[in-house]
Amino acid sequence: MLEVKDISKDYGDFHLRDISFTVSEGEYFIILGPSGAGKTVLLEVIAGLISPDSGRILLNGIDITEWPPERRGLAYVPQNYALFPHMSVHDNIAFGLRLRKLPKAEIEKRVKEIVEVLGIENLLKRKPRTLSGGEQQRVALARALVTEPPLILLDEPFANLDVQTRGRLINEMKRWKKELGFTALHVTHFFEEAVSLGDRVGVMLDGRLVQVGDVGEVFSRPSSERVARFLGFENIIEGTAEGRKLRANGIEIELPTEAHGEVRVGLRPEDVIIFTEPMKTSVRNVLRARVEGIEELGPIVRLRLNASGLAISAFITRSSFIELGISTGKEVYVGFKASALHVF
């Protein structure tokens, strides 16, 4: 649906270089990158607020690179939400609809619908400056979604919120995404957001999109050391949860908390234990795996393991690597405590 082709742009201290990716209809695409990677500039280029130095942007196959923002109709939610301070919440949300010259009754109906879904009916008469961060975020989202844009551009939508509100709103966002079925391009530097919400993810470092793929794939097979280091959580296991059991690739894994349906869990490589013989242990999850790759990183060795098709990466010290006599192709046992798992 959205096709970004070889976009380059020098803008102040930011340098976008040959950015290419596509977002399909109904997809939630996340661009993950550290602060200063140029994520905001990229969003504004797509929104039409900044024109690129080179490259094209296509929407449903039509080249919109030269179109002004008002013609593109891509909704944009900046990091500070940019609510119009001189208008009530209602007028903020109705702004785009009024520009479309819809009949008054239709405007009221659509505003009512969106505020009900987002749970902000009681804020309609308030001025933006009286709202909390979480409330502002929802109003901004309502204003963007009410015009039913083909694509919504979200710049760090959860960055300005306190930790609790953030967790709650990320969960809410999962529900809204299902309920409203919008297509989103969301940029963030929090990998939790990518894992919780993303259908696909692109990793952006220094103005380049260095890796694009399904969330599980990008996290389990980072294309470079820098990507891996930035992502932190290297093991993302996808599966179907039923209570405290997670089924992934025919393997059963015990979870620390109850969950249901499709979930992703994260496991840090340093939390993975390797042993060569089966033994009695308190570790709840033990899998048989084959060593497929060995990377020596100074005092630490990273093992790439394959447990019945599940890719797991583990860090062990150099001394245990030598003592255990690990080599490529060797069969080992992989263990991790249920409490080491992070359910997204």
Partner 1 sequence: MRRDYTIYLFAALGTFLVLYIALPIVVVFVRQASDAEMLIKTLHDPLVLEALRNSLVTATATAFIALFFGVPLGYVLARKEFPGKSLVQALVDVPIVIPHSVVGIMLLVTFSRTILDNYLGIISAMLFVSAPFTINASRDGFLGVDEKLEGVARTLGASRLRAFASIAFPLAFPNIASGAIMTWARAISEVGSILIVAYYPKTAQVLILEYFNNYGLRASRPIAILMVSISLVIFVLLRWLIGRAKNA
Site for partner 1 in 108-147 (CB under 8 A): 143-144, 147
d(CA 272, CA 106): 56
Binding piece for partner 1, criterion CB under 8 A, among 25-33, 79-87, 242-250, 276-284: 79-87
CB neighbour list of residue 256: distance below 8 Å, 6 or more residues apart? 244, 338, 339, 341, 343
Question: What tokens were used for 232?
Answer: 């932190």
User: Residue 137 or residue 220: which is nearer to partner 1 going by CB?
Assistant: 137
User: Residue 23 or residue 236: which is nearer to partner 1 going by CB?
Assistant: 23
Of 321, 282, 285, 281, whose CA–CA distance to 300 is shortest?
Answer: 321
User: Residue 75 or residue 287: which is nearer to partner 1 going by CB?
Assistant: 75
Q: How many residues comprise the chain?
A: 344
Using CB under 8 A as the binding rule, whether residue 78 contacts partner 1 is answered as yes
Using CB under 8 A as the binding rule, whether residue 158 contacts partner 1 is answered as no
**Binding residue for partner 1 (CB under 8 A) from 11, 67, 95, 190?**
95
**Binding residue for partner 1 (CB under 8 A) from 85, 103, 250, 309?**
85
Site for partner 1 in 4-63 (CB under 8 A): 44, 47-49
User: Residue 47 or residue 311: which is nearer to partner 1 going by CB?
Assistant: 47
Instruction: Please report where in the chains the tokens 């929407």 appear, as a residue.
Output: 59
d(CA 168, CA 294): 39
Binding piece for partner 1, criterion CB under 8 A, among 94-102, 111-119, 264-272, 316-324: 94-102
Instruction: Please report where in the chains the tokens 């696909």 appear, as a residue.
Output: 200
Under 8 Å between Cβ of 338 and 241: no
How far does CA 169 lie from the centroid of its chain? 14
Binding piece for partner 1, criterion CB under 8 A, among 15-23, 92-100, 311-319, 325-333: 92-100
Site for partner 1 in 173-212 (CB under 8 A): none
Minimum CB distance to partner 1, residue 149 (Å): 8
User: Residue 98 or residue 175: which is nearer to partner 1 going by CB?
Assistant: 98
Binding piece for partner 1, criterion CB under 8 A, among 10-18, 82-90, 192-200, 235-243: 82-90
d(CA 163, CA 79): 16
**Total residues contacting partner 1 (rule CB under 8 A)?**
27
Q: Please name the residue ranges forming H helices in the chain.
A: 39-47, 69-72, 89-99, 104-118, 133-145, 163-180, 191-197, 215-220, 225-231, 318-324
d(CA 56, CA 64): 8
Minimum CB distance to partner 1, residue 283 (Å): 50
Q: Which helix (H) or strand (E) holds 155?
A: strand 152-155
User: Residue 9 or residue 264: which is nearer to partner 1 going by CB?
Assistant: 9
**Binding residue for partner 1 (CB under 8 A) from 24, 80, 257, 320?**
80
Question: What tokens were used for 122?
Answer: 């009681």
Using CB under 8 A as the binding rule, whether residue 76 contacts partner 1 is answered as yes
CA angle (290 as vertex; 285, 296 as ends), nearest 5: 100
Site for partner 1 in 235-294 (CB under 8 A): none
Interface with partner 1 by CB under 8 A: which residues? Answer: 44, 47-49, 68-70, 72-78, 80, 82, 84-86, 95-96, 99-100, 143-144, 147, 153
